[in-house]
Amino acid sequence: MQRIGVFVCHCGSNIAGTVDVKRVVEAIRTEPGVIHAEDYPYMCSEAGQQLIAKAIEEHKLTGIVVCSCSPRMHEATFRKAAANAGINSFMVEIANIREHCSWIHKDVEEGTEKAVILARAAIAKLNLDTPLQPGESRVVKRALVIGGGIAGIQSALDIADAGYEVDIVEKTPSIGGRMSQLDKTFPTLDCSACILTPKMVEAAAHEKINIYTYSEVEKVSGFVGDFKVDIRKKARYVDSTKCTGCGLCQEKCPSKKAPSEFNRGLNTRSAIYTPFAQAIPNVPVIDTENCLKFKTGKCGICQKICAAGAVDYEQQDEIITREYGAIVVATGFDTIKLDKYDEYAYSQSKDVVTSLELERIMNAAGPTKGHLERLSDGKAPKNIVFIQCVGSRCSDGRGKSYCSKICCMYTAKHAMLIRDKYPDTNVTVFYIDVRTPGKNFDEFYRRAVEDYHVNYVKGQVGKVMPQPDGSLLVQGVDLIDNKQIKMNADMVVLATAIEPDPSVRNIATMLTASIDTNNFLTESHAKLRPVESPTAGVFLSGVCQGPKDIPETVAQAGAAAVKAIGLLAKDKLTTNPCTAQADILLCNGCSTCANVCPYGAISYENIQINDHGIREERRVAVVNNALCQGCGACTVACPSGAMDLQGFSNRQILAEVDAICR
């Protein structure tokens, strides 16, 4: 028989406001096994934990039930307190009477009644708890970073500087991410490449960092501390150990009509290419869809002219398998597709561009060599209209419900840069709100208005209509003067919403990391664990977790690195002891369980059994505790009821059901 102590927390007024804690204490005193019950304003406080320890000692308790906040908040705290007081840390059950009770019910009567029932269920479960001992598992001292944008680069550098090996897996031919496509950066006006390139070079030169570009994660198995990852190195058709990066092949390649991904399709590139001049590694790849050799079998010019003999049309994709202790996801973002926003005439006019396209147009290495010109006729625009929130903060289901966060600031940047370089150009910005929370952000925006006389109009644009003379008629409203506006523009720039890179879904599935309805990776706790995924050992860096600018991305990348370092610094991890176990007297060796186990944790052994006096050798299921993650799939699959899960046994769950339905 257990000796149970029940501790009911007020959580200030968070619980006590809608649950009569005194009544809960009295109501559960007579439950089986309960020999002590009390309440306290803050159980999780030092004093609260001491009170628990004292009760354990005084009443020789064998287990405790804490009625408090969610076990996801303080289960660990109370387990530790119990262990310090000398009882097994798994002899602790939490009744969640805050998130699942006091916070959602207003009526004290109802709240109290429910809290009592939840406490009873926890007591019923605890009565069947057995002490459990966690095992140990190893920590592979290497981290994987998925995505080589500024977030991935920064996380990798920080982890490597702490002395651990890091692999970066980047799907495109070069690291750098979106930041490499930007021209200047707010809230100063630094040149993006000037601050990014040194970081790229540093990562490439770091002895602890290994970069796999043009590569993708193909398969992930294992768990925190001990992940096993298959990486597909796509065939570049250029041997990186031989290539000197001279660039002659790109010059001589006769197939030059492929749209340049780096320049957002605004110009073309050759079939053998590096995405941009500062690419790292400076080794080209062959795009087989556009390569004449691959399409027709004829050509082969690049191979002929390559003095280093690096071009190899026979190269194959290669799968490498590596082990990691920690994984940082930094897969970043893309801008949304605009097919649902036809009113802005993006598909009809070359002079309607997205902000990211404008970055390329303004960039000296871009399609117009940095001259601000209309893509239709090469003329300098005299009137430019910016439209904010295209697809952001959208309630009609066409776009995203969230604010993309960076657009107000980059548009102020664009407007200022244009007015600075081309003072004769008129710039108008249509906005819903201007959002500039951030250090020096509002000052930056005000400079655009006050010093550069950018015309900000609060209101939305309804339609952009291409005119026969090549101009664009912009129709909108001015909400402050409450009037319709019609104006002619030579160029329209759409501040297009951003969304997570589409490949993140697949990555999340492989890592069993959760994502929200917008495909942003979910953090373990929105406030307290913002860079950790709920999946142990997986950390989040950059825009894959939510919209952010570069300073925030870099800060978060550092935070994710610190968490990864904290993990890698450990020599051993304790494993979850809530694993499956077969009752050898019931198991008939049918193999059903091994078929459903996602971790291959179950094998079969022939062992001597003494079944009520009958001695015989039987084939029975044996669970490898180090591999079992405790999902419970096998327990339900087992036809003879032999398989059970420690900590969540059939009897325990049924006891909870019974207590709730009583």
**Which of ligand SF4, ligand FAD, other proteins, none does residue 543 bind to, with CB < 5 to 8 Å depending on kind?**
ligand FAD
Examine residue 342 and tell whether it contacts other proteins (CB under 8 A): no
Examine residue 329 and tell whether it contacts ligand SF4 (CB under 6 A): no
SS3 category, 161: helix
Among 1, 30, 46, 106, the residue binding other proteins under the rule CB under 8 A is 106
In sequence order, what DSSP letters do the residues of 434-503 get, joined into one string?
----STTHHHHHHIIIIIT--EEEES-EEEEEE-TTS-EEEEEEETTTTEEEEEEESEEEEEE-EEE-TT
Q: How many CB atoms lie within 10 A of CB 484?
A: 11
Q: How many CB atoms lie within 10 A of CB 655?
A: 20
145 DSSP β-pair partners:
168, 328
Examine residue 391 and tell whether it contacts ligand FAD (CB under 6 A): no
Cβ at position 371, least distance to other proteins in Å = 45
**Dmax over Cα atoms in the chain, in whole Å?**
100
Examine residue 644 and tell whether it contacts other proteins (CB under 8 A): no
39-47, 98-106, 258-266, 558-566 -> range binding other proteins (CB under 8 A): 98-106
Q: What is the DSSP letter of 100?
A: I
Length of the chain, in residues = 662
**Which of other proteins, ligand SF4, ligand FAD, none does residue 114 bind to, with CB < 5 to 8 Å depending on kind?**
other proteins
Which residues 622-641 are close enough to bind other proteins by CB under 8 A?
629-633, 635-637
Q: How far apart are CA 648 and CA 568, in angstroms?
A: 30
20-28, 81-89, 165-173, 375-383 -> range binding ligand FAD (CB under 6 A): 165-173
How many residues lie near ligand SF4 (CB under 6 A)? 30
Cβ at position 513, least distance to other proteins in Å = 9
DSSP alpha helix (H) spans, 242-382: 248-252, 292-296, 301-305, 355-362
| Residue 81 φ/ψ, nearest 5 degrees | -60, -40
> Which of 239, 335, 262, 253 is closest to 290 using CA atoms?
253
Cβ at position 218, least distance to ligand SF4 in Å = 22
**Which of ligand FAD, ligand SF4, other proteins, none does residue 578 bind to, with CB < 5 to 8 Å depending on kind?**
other proteins
Q: How far apart are CA 349 and CA 466, in angstroms?
A: 7
Amino acid at 643: M
Examine residue 147 and tell whether it contacts ligand FAD (CB under 6 A): yes
Q: How far apart are CA 280 and CA 197, in angstroms?
A: 9
Q: How far apart are CA 108 and CA 22, in angstroms?
A: 12
Examine residue 597 and tell whether it contacts ligand SF4 (CB under 6 A): yes
Examine residue 82 and tell whether it contacts ligand FAD (CB under 6 A): no
Q: Are 348 and 338 in contact (CB under 8 A)?
A: no
Cβ at position 345, least distance to other proteins in Å = 35
73-81, 142-150, 305-313, 440-448 -> range binding ligand FAD (CB under 6 A): 142-150
Among 117, 175, 253, 327, the residue binding other proteins under the rule CB under 8 A is 117
Cβ at position 314, least distance to other proteins in Å = 36
Among 149, 281, 366, 381, the residue binding ligand FAD under the rule CB under 6 A is 149
The residue assigned the tokens 């079998």 is: 297
Q: How far apart are CA 349 and CA 374, in angstroms?
A: 10
Cβ at position 231, least distance to other proteins in Å = 19
Examine residue 621 and tell whether it contacts ligand SF4 (CB under 6 A): yes
Examine residue 169 and tell whether it contacts ligand FAD (CB under 6 A): yes
CB-nearer residue toward ligand SF4: 587 or 659? 587
248-286 burial: b if 16+ Cβ within 10 Å, else e = ebbeebebeebebebbbebeebbbbbbbbebbbbbbbbb
In sequence order, what DSSP letters do the residues of 192-222 get, joined into one string?
HHHHHHHHHHHHHH-TTEEEE-SEEEEEEEE
Which residues 502-531 are close enough to bind ligand FAD by CB under 6 A?
503, 507
Q: How far apart are CA 563 and CA 449, in angstroms?
A: 41
In sequence order, what DSSP letters do the residues of 583-612 get, joined into one string?
-TTT-----HHHHH-TT--EEEEEEEEEET
Examine residue 146 and tell whether it contacts ligand FAD (CB under 6 A): yes
68-76, 121-129, 501-509, 515-523 -> range binding ligand FAD (CB under 6 A): 501-509
311 DSSP β-pair partners:
238
Q: How far apart are CA 308 and CA 249, in angstroms?
A: 11
190 DSSP β-pair partners:
185
Distances (CA, A) of 251 to 106, 248, 302, 445, 498: 73, 5, 9, 42, 34
**Which of ligand FAD, ligand SF4, other proteins, none does residue 70 bind to, with CB < 5 to 8 Å depending on kind?**
other proteins
Examine residue 476 and tell whether it contacts ligand FAD (CB under 6 A): no
Examine residue 634 and tell whether it contacts ligand SF4 (CB under 6 A): yes
52-60, 182-190, 241-249, 361-369 -> range binding ligand FAD (CB under 6 A): 182-190
Which residues 49-78 are close enough to bind other proteins by CB under 8 A?
70-72
Per-residue tokens: 172: 């495109």
Which residues 528-587 are close enough to bind other proteins by CB under 8 A?
534-535, 578
By 3-state DSSP, what share of the chain in percent is helix, strand and coil, each rounded to 5? 30, 25, 45
| Residue 156 φ/ψ, nearest 5 degrees | -60, -45
CB-nearer residue toward ligand FAD: 98 or 171? 171
Examine residue 653 and tell whether it contacts ligand SF4 (CB under 6 A): no
Among 348, 401, 603, 640, the residue binding ligand SF4 under the rule CB under 6 A is 640
CB-nearer residue toward ligand FAD: 406 or 464? 406
Output the CA torsion sign for 19, 25, 30, 35.
positive
Examine residue 408 and tell whether it contacts ligand SF4 (CB under 6 A): no
Examine residue 103 and tell whether it contacts other proteins (CB under 8 A): yes
Q: Are 201 and 195 in contact (CB under 8 A)?
A: no
Examine residue 170 and tell whether it contacts ligand FAD (CB under 6 A): yes
Among 638, 644, 655, 656, the residue binding ligand SF4 under the rule CB under 6 A is 638
The residue assigned the tokens 């925006």 is: 445
Among 580, 646, 652, 659, the residue binding ligand SF4 under the rule CB under 6 A is 580
CA 551, 552, 558, 562: dihedral to nearest 10 degrees? 160
CB-nearer residue toward other proteins: 452 or 599? 599
Cβ at position 442, least distance to ligand FAD in Å = 15
CB neighbour list of residue 598: distance below 8 Å, 6 or more residues apart: 629, 631, 633
> 34-40 and 268-269: which strand pairing?
unpaired
Examine residue 589 and tell whether it contacts ligand SF4 (CB under 6 A): yes
How many residues lie near other proteins (CB under 8 A)? 53
Cβ at position 263, least distance to other proteins in Å = 35
Q: How far apart are CA 495 and CA 518, in angstroms?
A: 19
Q: How far apart are CA 608 and CA 584, in angstroms?
A: 10
CB-nearer residue toward other proteins: 103 or 604? 103
* Binding site residues, ligand SF4, CB under 6 A: 579-580, 582, 587-593, 596-597, 599, 601-602, 621, 623, 628-634, 637-638, 640, 642-643, 645
* Binding site residues, ligand FAD, CB under 6 A: 146-152, 169-172, 177-179, 182, 185-186, 216, 330-333, 335, 355-356, 359, 406, 410, 413, 498, 501, 503, 507, 542-543, 548-551, 553
* Binding site residues, other proteins, CB under 8 A: 70-72, 96, 98-101, 103-107, 110-111, 113-114, 117-118, 121, 508-509, 512, 514-517, 522, 534-535, 578, 596, 598-599, 629-633, 635-637, 645, 648, 650, 653-654, 656-658, 660-662
